[in-house]
Every structure is written in structure tokens, then in C-alpha cells.
Amino acid sequence: MSEPPATDRERWLDDRRNVKKVVRTLFAVCAVVALADLFPYKEHLHFGFEYWPGFYSIFGFVACVALVLAATQLRKVLKRDEDYYD
């Protein structure tokens, strides 16, 4: 018997349990990084708000959300018709 084509094979992320493991691992890594910010270390910062615990975690999340929202608005400007190149 011949093997099925590569496109019909089940991949490791097709299993819901593996996806849950990846998401949980991502949350655990994010929590460890955010908690690490609570411990004192030598910082050379310029502004007072940079000393707030978790500032860079929150700033990174807000910046990522802002980029996604800006990209959705920019798509409206840059979108071309379906037959643009015909």
C-alpha cells in the first residue's frame, strides 16, 4: 500500500491536547517573565513610569494590540480589487 500524500497527514498541532500544551506553556513563560520583574535588579531607566512593576509587559501587549488595529485600518486603504492584475 502506498502512503497518503503529505497534505493528508495529521500534524502535531492538529491534536487539541498539543495546542493546549503550547498555550499553557506560553502563559507559564509570560507569567515567569512578569514575576521576574518584581525582583530587584540594577536598572538604568530614564523615566519614573519605567520603574512600575510589569510596565514593559503591559506596554508590549498594548503596542501589539495597537499594531493589529492599525494594520486592519491600513488594509482598507491598501486593498485592491480581486481582478486588479488582470
Ordered DSSP codes for 33-46: HHHHTTS------S
Higher pLDDT, 60 or 3: 60
In angstroms, the CA 7 to CA 4 distance is: 8
Sole residue written with cell 497527514: 9
Helices vs strands, H then E, count in the chain: 2, 0
What confidence score (pLDDT) does residue 43 get?
Answer: 73
Q: For 36-79, write each residue's pLDDT tens digit.
A: 877 777 777 888 888 787 788 889 899 999 999 999 999 989 98
Q: How many CB atoms lie within 10 A of CB 31?
A: 11
Q: List Cβ neighbours of 12 (8 Å cut-off, separation of 6 or more).
A: 18
Q: Where exactly are the structural domains of the chain?
A: 6-78
